[in-house]
Every structure is written in C-alpha cells, then in structure tokens.
C-alpha cells in the first residue's frame, strides 16, 4: 500500500507522542526515529495532528493536479461538504469561481455522491434485512475493519464511498473528464490510489489553499442557498443518519466516532453483543469536520458544526440513482498478522526491561503502549526498543549514578539553593565523622561545613575548583571543588581527603627546618672555632714578633 504519510527524519525528536496517539500502533522506532508501518496503518492522521515537530507530512498532490489541468482535458472538482467549515463564509458558487480561476472546468459538491450512498443504505436495510450494517463512507474505518476485524467485513456496507459515488456520476455525465476530490482527509489519497479509474487525484484543503495563494486567487465570501442539499450534513457526527429515511423496521440507528470507540464497537460486534443495528462509523472525532487537516489547521468543532448545519438544506439533492452494481464495492481482508510471541518470549523481554514480577509492570504508557506487556510484544515484533521505557531508563541511570556516587573515594555532598544537604556519600561522612546519613540530610550545611564558599559560588555563579581547605573541627585537609548546576538548582561539593599528603608535607617541611637549623648551628660553631683559632694564632704571632724583635735588637747591640 503506498504510504500517504511520510516522515521528515531531521524533525523527529524521538518523543513517542505519535505512538501514544496511534490507535493501532502502526509506528515502529528504529535508530531513534519513528517509522510508519504502511501495511498496518489505517491513515487516520492522528500522528500528523499530534506531532509537535511537524515531522509527519502528507504526500503533496498539487503537481499531479497541475499536470491534469495542463493536459487540456476537463478537470472537475468534487468538493467535500466540510469545505464550508474550512473556508468561512464561502458557498459552493464562490468555491467554483475560485477553482475555475485555477483551471478547473467545474466544481461540484461530494454531497451529491453522499445522497446516492445514503439512499443505497436505506434500500439495503429495507430489502436485504441484514443484522448489522456499518457505513462505508470513512476509508480509515474500512481499513480498520479490513486489517484488524476481517471477520466483521460482512457487516461493512458493500457500497462505494460518497467520493467514489460522486466521481462515478461525474464521469457518467462527462466521460472524458478527470476528477479531483478536495477534502480534509489523508485516507482519501490512499482510497483514490485503489480506484484510479474513478478518482484521478486528491487534494487536502491545505494543498488547495497553497495553490490559490500561489496564483493570487482569493475566495469570495459569498453564501448560496439550496434547500435540496440535506446531504451536506455528512461531514458531521450523525450526519449520515440525519439524511437517511431510517424507515427499516426493527433497526437501531447509532453513531460512533473516534477510532477507539469504533474499535470498542467492533469488539462488541465480534463478541455477538450487537444485533439489528445500523452504525455510522467515523475514524475522526466529530466526523469529517474533525479530519486531520481540519484539526491541525482549523480546529473549531462547535463553530464548524454550526457552519455545516446552517448551510445544509432540508431535502435531498436531485440525483439519478445509479444501478446497484455500479456503486457496489467489495471490501476484502488485508492480512497484516505479525508473529505473536510465546509467554516465555514475553517474559524474557519483560525481564530485560527490568520487570521481574507483575508489580514491576507500571503500565505507565510513556512509551506509547498501554501496558508493559504490549510493549514487550512490540519489541518482539521489531516495532519498539527496550530503551523506549522511561522508568527503565531512569532506574538504569539512577542506578549507575548511585553506584558512582556511593563508590567514589571522594567525599560528595549535594545541596539545594537553600544550602540544605540533599545527599551525602560515605566518603564525605568519613571525612566529617558523621555516623548516619539521616543526621545531616535536610539540615543546613552550616552544621557540618563552613557555608561561605557555597554562598560565594551561589551569588557569583562562578564555580570553585581544587581549593585546599583545613577542616579544623575534623582535623582534616581537603582539596575542595564546589559546582553550581543552574538547571537542576543544585550545588555539588567534592572533597578529596589530602590529610595524609598534608601531614607528609608538613613532616618533610619540619625535617627541612630541623636540617637547616642544625646546619646553621654547625656553621655558627665552626665560625666560633675559627675565630678562637684566629685569636690564638694572633696572640702567638704577636709574642713571636716581640721575641724576634728583641733577639734582633740583642744581636745588633753586640
């Protein structure tokens, strides 16, 4: 099946919001990127609507439509009845004028085809008396039944959609015409791909608006009146029922919208809990006026309903009801069943996710799956990854950080901005002679440490690194680093005990001082000895000089 939704990988931020909102979980994650699984997707467009990064895109068909227009052959637009809600104040005549300026030969309301379809529904209920009949107007609902509830295909009305019915009628009247459906739906693009002989192309309202803007065409805000237009109610919840005669005896008529509600109803049908019932089913809450393009760019359900209601007439369009076989459609089952894991395989995956017993299964849904068990099955089928489990990741990260925190040989103290102790490890407790963690956690840090450095770091925003501090109360020397994390609003104090290093350094300094003192003493003593020797030598020399002088004098006299 061609995929009408694509992914801009550069935009995907791995937030899992699309899988949380996907009613059939047809999205897998690989390489931290979301990937739509075409064979499982029902094209409801929920992922397109909820994606906060606009990573989901609808395949653009504007170029295809331009080629059709440029071909020279007539191109006629089938305009979904929800247009009156999307283009405020513009009726079909105003829309036709704008579309003709784009090159379309004409524009008609898809509600004409809706009249054909609802008339056939009434006939089936009256003449064929089926137990349950589900409307076939919504392609996403049709895909839901074909892929996920194939046993209930017998309940799905074997009638074409209003889009196909109208395009069949257009081509009956204009055999060489090309048809382009314009509406708020993603799924219609896929539906058109399956009936190329009936519908040549599909534009969303967003694509039509872009084409109009590109050509500088403004839609005139002009309404028209037509009492023969009751089928204009079709895009509203319960709109099909409003147009039907509902004259088949013994039937209950009801409306179900939203994929989750449709799934619940189909399960009841599957379990034999519903009988003698006609069910109008729509994948979008509020029906087509809640379609993905409407919801993302023009979400105003109450006002939109009023716009459609005010524009709708009281009588049916004047149509030529075609022969039954011309609007008959066969919906076949689409096999998508992936291999289901055994209980042993599920349990093994749960254990890898840190779920060893039922109480470990939080079923929080942050991964996008309703239960841990569903997540385990998705992992087995290659749709999900263990790392998508937020509690698992948090527990793993906390376990790792706790191990580092507890095993660190350095003392670590964590404070809040009020300078209150939030955490303290054993190494820090040993440095400060603290017996129990509870003795200080929650208390001001001033109880155990001088708060000045913390106050300075907090006020200045400048961290302090490798400051040598003497903790006199504990007779410890530490190399202290204080870091302030503004994001977490926490301060971390890391203390490396350097008491032994300081003691060794002081011992070495003492030895050095003692050595210097001894050296000084030796030098002083030696100097005294030298001086004494010098003094003695001086006296001896003087005496010798005197003696020699006397001897010289004595010899001279002789």
The contacts found for 388-391 with CB under 8 angstroms, 24 or more apart, are: 388/16, 388/29, 389/353, 389/354, 390/364, 390/366, 391/354, 391/362, 391/364, 391/366
Residue-range definition of the domain harbouring residue 520: 510-542
Q: Are residues 322 and 444 in the same domain?
A: no
Q: CB–CB of 80/45 below 8 Å? A: no
Residue 31 lies in a domain: no
Q: Are residues 105 and 179 in the same domain?
A: yes
Q: Are residues 535 and 460 in the same domain?
A: no
In the listed set 274, 309, 327, which residue is the last one of a domain according to the structure? Answer: 327
Q: Are residues 242 and 98 in the same domain?
A: yes
Residue 381 lies in a domain: no
Residue 53 lies in a domain: no
Q: Are residues 530 and 442 in the same domain?
A: no
Confidence of residue 381 (pLDDT cuts 50, 70, 90): confident
Check residue 548 and give its pLDDT. Answer: 64
CA neighbor of 107 nearest in space, from 236, 195, 190, 224:
224
Higher pLDDT, 556 or 484: 484
Confidence of residue 11 (pLDDT cuts 50, 70, 90): confident
Q: Are residues 206 and 228 in the same domain?
A: yes
Average pLDDT over residues 285-309: 85
Q: Are residues 319 and 417 in the same domain?
A: no
In the listed set 302, 327, 352, which residue is the last one of a domain according to the structure? Answer: 327
Q: Are residues 113 and 241 in the same domain?
A: yes
Q: Which helix (H) or strand (E) holds 484?
A: strand 476-485
Residue 246 lies in a domain: yes
CATH number, domain containing residue 447:
3.30.450.20
Q: Are residues 162 and 92 in the same domain?
A: yes
Check residue 393 and give its pLDDT. Answer: 63
Domain count, the chain: 3
Q: Quick check: 2 pLDDT over 60? A: no
Q: Are residues 492 and 527 in the same domain?
A: no
Residue 391 lies in a domain: no
pLDDT tens, 161-173?
A: 999 999 999 999 9
Residue 40 lies in a domain: no
Q: Are residues 453 and 533 in the same domain?
A: no
Higher pLDDT, 427 or 301: 427
Confidence of residue 1 (pLDDT cuts 50, 70, 90): very low
How would you list the strands of the sheet with 277-282, edge to edge?
132-134, 277-282, 252-257
Q: Are residues 487 and 526 in the same domain?
A: no
Residue 550 lies in a domain: no
CA distance 246 to 224: 29
Residue 419 lies in a domain: yes
pLDDT tens, 523-537?
A: 788 888 878 777 777
pLDDT tens, 177-233?
A: 999 999 999 999 999 999 999 999 999 999 999 999 999 999 999 999 899 999 999
């Amino acid at each position: 099946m061609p995929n009408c939704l694509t992914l801009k990988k550069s935009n995907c931020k791995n937030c899992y919001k699309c899988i949380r909102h996907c009613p059939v979980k047809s999205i897998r994650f690989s390489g931290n990127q979301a990937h739509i699984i075409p064979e499982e997707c029902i094209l409801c467009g929920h992922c397109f609507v909820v994606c906060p990064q606009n990573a989901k895109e609808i395949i653009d068909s504007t170029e295809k439509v331009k080629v059709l227009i440029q071909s020279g052959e007539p191109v006629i637009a089938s305009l979904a009845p929800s247009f009156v809600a999307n283009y405020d104040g513009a009726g079909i005549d105003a829309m036709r004028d704008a579309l003709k300026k784009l090159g379309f030969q004409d524009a008609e309301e898809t509600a004409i085809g809706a009249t054909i379809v609802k008339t056939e529904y009434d006939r089936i209920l009256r003449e064929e008396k089926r137990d349950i009949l589900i409307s076939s107007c919504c392609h996403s609902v049709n895909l839901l039944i074909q892929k996920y509830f194939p046993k209930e295909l017998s309940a799905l009305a074997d009638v074409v959609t209003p889009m196909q019915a109208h395009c069949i009628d257009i081509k009956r009247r204009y055999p060489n015409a090309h048809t382009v459906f314009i509406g708020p739906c993603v799924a219609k693009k896929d539906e058109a791909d399956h009936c190329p002989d009936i519908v040549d192309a599909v534009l969303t309202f967003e694509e039509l608006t872009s084409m109009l803007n590109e050509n500088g065409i403004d839609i005139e805000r002009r309404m028209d009146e037509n009492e023969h237009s009751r089928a204009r109610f079709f895009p509203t919840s319960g709109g099909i029922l409003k147009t039907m005669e509902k004259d088949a005896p013994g039937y209950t008529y009801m409306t179900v919208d939203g994929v989750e509600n449709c799934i619940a109803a189909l399960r009841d049908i599957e379990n034999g809990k519903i009988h003698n019932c006609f069910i109008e089913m729509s994948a979008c809450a509020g029906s087509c006026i809640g379609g993905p393009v409407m919801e993302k760019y023009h979400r105003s359900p109450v006002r939109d309903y009023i716009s459609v209601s005010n524009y709708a007439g009281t009588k049916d369009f004047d149509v030529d009801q075609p022969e039954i076989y011309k609007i008959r459609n066969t919906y076949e089952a689409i096999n998508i069943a992936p291999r289901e894991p055994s209980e042993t395989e599920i349990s093994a995956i749960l254990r890898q996710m840190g779920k060893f017993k039922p109480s470990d299964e939080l079923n929080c849904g942050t991964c996008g799956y309703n239960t841990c068990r569903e997540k385990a099955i998705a992992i087995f089928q290659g749709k999900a990854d263990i790392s998508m489990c937020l509690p698992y990741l948090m527990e793993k990260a906390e376990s790792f950080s706790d191990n580092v925190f507890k095993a660190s040989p350095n003392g670590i103290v964590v404070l809040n901005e009020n300078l209150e102790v939030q955490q303290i490890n054993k190494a820090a407790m040993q440095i400060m002679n603290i017996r129990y963690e509870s003795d200080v956690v929650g208390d001001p840090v001033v109880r155990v440490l001088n708060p000045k450095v913390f106050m300075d770091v907090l006020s200045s925003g400048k961290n302090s690194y490798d400051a040598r501090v003497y903790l006199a109360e504990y007779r410890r020397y530490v190399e202290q680093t204080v870091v302030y994390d503004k994001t977490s609003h926490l301060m971390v104090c890391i203390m490396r005990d350097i008491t032994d290093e300081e003691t060794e350094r002081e011992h070495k300094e003492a030895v050095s001082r003692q050595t210097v003192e001894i050296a000084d003493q030796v030098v002083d003593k030696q100097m005294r000895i030298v001086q004494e020797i010098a003094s003695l030598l001086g006296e001896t020399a003087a005496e010798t000089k005197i003696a020699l002088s006397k001897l010289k004098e004595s010899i001279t006299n002789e």
